[in-house]
Amino acid sequence: MLEYAVYGLVLFSLGMYVVLDGYDLGVGMLSLVAKPERRREYGEIVATAWDANESWLILAGVVLWAGLPGAYAVVLPGVYLPLIVMLVSVVLRGLGLEMHSAAGRYRRGWALLFGGASLAATVCQGLVLGAVLTGPRQRGGAFHGGAFDWFTLYGVLCAVGLVMVYLLAGAAWLQDKTEAWSRSVVRRTGRSLLSATVVMALVLALLLPGADPQEFQLGQPVRAVLFWLAVGVGAVAGAVAWYGFGRRPDWRPFAAVATMTASGLLGLAVVSLPVVVPPGLTVHQAASPHSSQLFLVLGVGLCMPFVLAYNIYAWRSFRGKYSEPVESPVPPLPIRGRPLPAATAPTGLPRTIVRRVLLTVLGILATALSQDVFGGVSDLIGPIGVTVLGCTALAAWITGDRRDGRAGYFDVDTGTETTS
């Protein structure tokens, strides 16, 4: 049963990523067709949470790698190119967003980088989804395809469909967070994107049985009930989104679009289980050893509330409509302690560097030894020893930094000179 818990963590993390990072990728793509004076505003709207949203993708990758290594080993080699382009796009997107925000005013180059990288990342994610659904060529649990197997007609259609989904989520988010669009423009844009999304969803659903090599088993009563329940919830959410675009409350369309997206992911999982990679790689075959699954479920399960709390805190802190911040002069930084004599400053820096290098090596050693511990070997050190080692390194780091702070190593240089 642990393998299904791991699979559930992967689905939950991917679902949270698609729902949350989907809207800020959609906002980025919508900024490409927005007026120049609105592009900076679009970036500022997502700047408060985009990094937290992308943490779900990292979490999904870690759980997939550690909990379902069989699926990871088959899928990853088949989608190296789009996955690398996606990761580069995510980096460039963050660069454009942060540099545009730091510029203080509209910069065309950074705005276009943010929007273009958002589009590239979305297209690559759709191509990866299409490659997984059509089934990478595999033999004996290993990938045996070519470098461009991911480039198929169904993969291109998946990319177009995912672009539509993210644009729809972005439009719903902009209605909730801005006053830039009139009600008529919001209604027209949102409903047009919703119609395009529904059309693409129907096309992909009708083509899926021919593109996916596995046999769907909707004849089973429980599976059929769950699938049609997901379809029904998605249809109701779509109707709510259609009605809500251009009407108050402004949060209703985004909540409906998020429900639609979650329903679609659950419906896809229902018709596929227990297969995780078509045509026949199941959850049991792809799962890692029991000890790894137990460690992963406990570790990720304990981290999940903190990740959710961070997202909720960010949403609550930046709730309401976006307004341009009022610029105010930054007060001078306080200076603590006394300036260091010129003779003591050079000796403190090498000592700090040497201490931190040793602590880093100590942390790497603790990580390496902990792999043996949690793998059931524990030849050199036990769980208690790993805990003591890690706590000692952390205590040494904090103590050293506090001592250096009292000594004045972290004081701010005022740039003023004193004369005796």
DSSP 261-301: HHHHHHHHHHHHTTEEETTTEEHHHH---HHHHHHHHHHHH
| pLDDT for res 414 | 43
| pLDDT for res 259 | 94
- Judging by beta carbons within 10 Å of its beta carbon (0-12, 13-18, 19+), is residue 94 exposed, middle or buried? middle
| pLDDT for res 340 | 46
**Dist CA 205 CA 224 (whole Å):** 15
pLDDT value at 304 more than 80: yes
Percentage of residues of the chain with pLDDT beyond 90: 22
pLDDT value at 344 more than 60: no
Average pLDDT over every residue of 344-365: 64
Q: 348 vs 114, which has greater pLDDT?
A: 114
Q: Are 374 and 291 in contact (CB under 8 A)?
A: yes
Average pLDDT over every residue of 285-305: 83
Query: Per the structure block, which two tokens stand in for 187?
Result: 């209604």
- For the beta carbon of residue 49, count every other beta carbon within 10 angstroms: 19
| pLDDT for res 418 | 41
Average pLDDT over every residue of 130-136: 87
Strand pairing report for 275-277 and 281-282: antiparallel
pLDDT value at 408 more than 60: yes
- 3-class SS of residue 411: coil
Render pLDDT for 226-241 as a digit per residue (tens, 0 to 9).
989 999 999 999 999 9
**C-alpha radius of gyration, the chain, whole number:** 25
Q: With CA atoms as reference, report the closest residue to 223 among 258, 275, 262, 260.
A: 275
pLDDT value at 214 more than 80: no
| pLDDT for res 124 | 94
DSSP codes of every residue in 294-361 = HHHHHHHHHHHHHHHHHHHHHHHHT-S---PPPP-PPPPPP--S-PPPTTTHHHHHHHHHHHHHHHHH
Percentage of residues of the chain with pLDDT beyond 70: 78
**Dist CA 372 CA 378 (whole Å):** 5
- What is the end-to-end Cα distance of the chain in Å, rounded? 76
Q: 20 vs 370, which has greater pLDDT?
A: 20
Residue 249, preceding bond cis, omega within 30 degrees?
yes
Q: 400 vs 70, which has greater pLDDT?
A: 70
pTM (2 decimals)? Answer: 0.75
CA dihedral 140, 146, 148, 154 (to 10 degrees): -40
In degrees and rounded to multiples of 5, residue 75 shows phi and psi of -75, -45
Average pLDDT over every residue of 346-359: 65
| pLDDT for res 195 | 94
Render pLDDT for 26-65 as a digit per residue (tens, 0 to 9).
999 998 888 877 887 888 888 777 877 888 888 888 888 8
| pLDDT for res 243 | 92
Q: What is the mean pLDDT of the chain?
A: 80
Q: 403 vs 74, which has greater pLDDT?
A: 74
Query: Per the structure block, which two tokens stand in for 283?
Result: 């959850």
In degrees and rounded to multiples of 5, residue 36 shows phi and psi of -55, -35
| pLDDT for res 346 | 44
Query: Per the structure block, which two tokens stand in for 53?
Result: 């949203």
| pLDDT for res 384 | 67
| pLDDT for res 3 | 84
In degrees and rounded to multiples of 5, residue 416 shows phi and psi of -95, 150
Give the DSSP H/E element, type plus range, for residue 236. helix 221-244
